[in-house]
Amino acid sequence: MSNENPQQSEKAYGQFHRRMLEGKAAVFAIATTVAISIGGIVEIVPMFTASSASWERADHITPYTPLEVAGRDIYIREGCYLCHSQMVRPMRAEILRYGEWTRAAEYQYDRPFLLGSRRLGPDLQREGGKYPDAWHYEHMRDPRTTSPGSVMPPYPWLHRSKVDPSDIGASVRALAKAGTPYAATDDASVASSMQAQGTTITQSLSTSGITAAWDDEIVALIAYLQRLGVEGRTYLQSQGGGQ
C-alpha cells in the first residue's frame, strides 16, 4: 500500500501537466488565444445582435435635459455617488423603504452608470418628487436643517457658483455621439433649454422665499435630483407594476 498523501499526489499531477503545457509555448499561446476569444465573443456578439424587441427598453424613459445633464455633472464632480446609491434591489426591506426595485431599462441613458457601491446616505433612485425644490436647496446648504443628525457635509458653494451653458453643450454633444438621441445640441439650443427649465425651478423656490438664478449650480442639481426615478415610475406602471 502506498503511503503517498492523496492531496500531494493530486498537486503533483496538476503541476506536471501545467509545466508540460507551459513548456510548449506555441500550444500554450494558442490555448490562451482561444480561451480569450471565446470570452470576448460571448461579451461582444450580443451587443450587435440584440434588437430593440429582444431586450428591455422603455419608451417612457427620455434623455436627461441639458439642465439635468449639468446637475448630473455636478453630482459626479462632488462625489455624491460615493455615499448614495442609485439602485433599489429586489428585497422587501429595500422596496418598503425606497420604492419599487430598479429595472435595467431605467439606466438606458445613464453614461456613466451611477449605481454606487455603498450607502452612507439613502438610495436616491426614487428621489424625484419626494421633496419640494426648497427642501433640496436647504439640504445642500446645511443638511442638518432638513435631516437632523445627518453626517453629510454642506455644499454652500453650489448656491454661489454658476453653470456655463457652453460646457454643458459640450457634454450634450458627447452624449449624442455615444448614442443619446438629442434633437438639438448647439450651444444656443442648450442654453435656451437650460434657462427655461431653470426659470421654472427658481419660480418654485420663490414661493418659499428663496431667491436664485436659473444658472446657479444648485438649480441644476435640483433639476437632476427631481428627475431621478420619475420616468422610471411611469415605465413601471406601464408594465403593470410600480407604486
If phi over 0 gives left and psi between -120 and 50 gives alpha, with beta otherwise, what is residue 182?
Answer: beta
Beta bridge partners of 216: 162
Query: Is the Cβ–Cβ distance between 79 and 118 less than 8 Å?
Result: no
pLDDT for the residue 85: 95
89 vs 100: CA distance, rounded Å? 9
Tell me the per-residue pLDDT of 198-238, one tens digit each, with 9 for 90 and over. Answer: 999 999 999 999 999 999 999 999 999 999 988 877 767 66
Tell me the per-residue pLDDT of 60-75, one tens digit each, with 9 for 90 and over. Answer: 789 999 999 999 999 9
Query: Is the Cβ–Cβ distance between 167 and 83 less than 8 Å?
Result: no
29 falls in which pLDDT band (50, 70, 90)? confident
pLDDT for the residue 59: 66
Tell me the per-residue pLDDT of 37-58, one tens digit each, with 9 for 90 and over. Answer: 998 888 777 666 654 444 455 5
Sign of torsion over alpha carbons 46, 52, 54, 56: positive
220 vs 71: CA distance, rounded Å? 4
134 falls in which pLDDT band (50, 70, 90)? very high
DSSP codes, 41-80: HHHHHHHHH--TTSS---TT--PPPHHHHHHHHHHHHTTG
Q: How many helices (H) and strands (E) does the chain have?
A: 9, 0
pLDDT for the residue 60: 74
pLDDT for the residue 54: 41
139 vs 126: CA distance, rounded Å? 17
Phi, psi (deg, nearest 5) at residue 56: -70, 115
Whether residue 191 has pLDDT greater than 90? yes
Grid cell listed for 3: 503511503
Residues 6 or more apart whose CB falls under 8 angstroms from that of 202 comprise: 211, 212, 213, 214, 219
pLDDT for the residue 55: 43
The contacts found for 169-175 with CB under 8 angstroms, 24 or more apart, are 169/66, 171/69, 171/70, 171/73, 172/66, 172/69, 175/63, 175/69, 175/109, 175/111
